[in-house]
Structure 1
Amino acid sequence: MGLLPGFLSTAPKSEAEKRADEVRTGAVAPTRAERARCWAARDAFYACLDAHGIVDTLNSEGRAAAARACPAEGAAFERDCAAQWVTYFKKWRVQDIQKKARLKELEAQGATRMDVQTDFTPRR
């Protein structure tokens, strides 16, 4: 005799678990402490990826490599950050690594680095 998934007994979620689910789905904005926890989890995940030479976790090969090499860090990152943030940070990581590699390549070819102001605040 099998049980249907809807009839399995599950403990009710605590208020903290409910809040975490709401942050993960984007239903509520994260507090400063929740953002800090997300960034710490992201940084730990990135450190693990760097240690194992994994760049892109958005493709199936990178996702599998990250799951093998950094399961705890990946789970914490997914748990502590809003789902949209996780996707954004993963895309940003790939683009940032590609940008740095391209800049290094250009400098090796003799390009000159230029300081560029990217905001509109007046310089003093």
Structure 2
Amino acid sequence: MGLFSFTQSADQKRAEEVRTGAVAPSRSERAKCWESRDKYFACLDRANIIDALKDDKEAARACKAETADFERDCATQWYRVANHQKEQRLKQLQAEGARAMSIETGPQK
């Protein structure tokens, strides 16, 4: 909680609890986060920034508004590097000849 949490509204308190991981986000809070995250990642892509943690000053300069929205709307555990690593691993697997598979679960027909 923030230093002045006694002056926060219920919505502000809830948002801070989601950001810190104290509570799980609701469906609408996750949707809001994903929207902010997508805008943030798009900005980083336009600025050709792969690792926003390593290039934090450049990311903050290039994507000031998007960074603020992302940090406001999302839990602190979200970060860009994991997403980039996943994308790179998928590209590597495709280059090695891996094929996507459709997996269905449920009772057999």
- The one-character-per-residue Cα deviations of 1:48-93 (angstroms, maximum 9, x if unpaired) are 011111111121xx21211110011011111101112x23xx2322
What is the match of residue 75 of structure 2? 82
What is the match of residue 51 of structure 1? 46
CA distance in structure 2 between the aligned counterparts of 1:112 and 1:11, rounded to whole angstroms: 57
- The one-character-per-residue Cα deviations of 1:14-51 (angstroms, maximum 9, x if unpaired) are 11111111111111111111000000000000110111
**Alignment length (residue pairs):** 106
Distance 1:49 1:82, change over 3 A: same
TM-score between the two structures when normalised by the length of structure 2: 0.79
Distance 1:113 1:11, change over 3 A: closer
**CA RMSD after TM alignment:** 2.8
TM-score between the two structures when normalised by the length of structure 1: 0.70
Considering only CA atoms, is the larger Rg found in Structure 1 or Structure 2? 1
What stretches of structure 2 of length at least 5 have no aligned partner?
none
| 1:68 pairs with 2:83 | no
What stretches of structure 1 of length at least 5 have no aligned partner?
1-5
